[in-house]
Amino acid sequence: MADIKYEIVQKIGVLSTSASGWAKELNLISWNDRDPKYDLRDWAPENKQMGKGITLSKEELKALRDLLNVMEL
């Protein structure tokens, strides 16, 4: 499997942190030298390891925001 190159362009925020120290974070990340996308995933302390996650374009993030705004939480 090829190495995945990433650069965290902007740390936006932490949604939660587990007892083990892993944090669910929303960040703007450039994957393999491509244009940055919004990324939501679990990260080990100091971003040494990552879990599975989801990447969203700006348009997809706006659509998600709009969906969340109409939900009754």
Sequence-distant contacts of 12-21: CB under 8 A, at least 24 apart: 12/38, 15/40, 18/42, 21/45
pLDDT digits (tens, 9 = 90+) for 5-44: 999 999 999 999 999 999 999 999 999 999 999 999 999 9
Tell me if the pTM is above 0.95: no
Q: Which CATH class is domain 6-70?
A: mainly beta
Residue corresponding to tokens 């706006």: 62
> φ and ψ at 48, to 5 degrees?
-75, -30
- Rounded Cα distance, 19 and 54, in Å: 22
For residue 59, the model assigns a pLDDT of: 98
Distance, CA of 9 to CA of 52 (rounded, Å): 19
- All structural domains of the chain with their residue ranges: 6-70
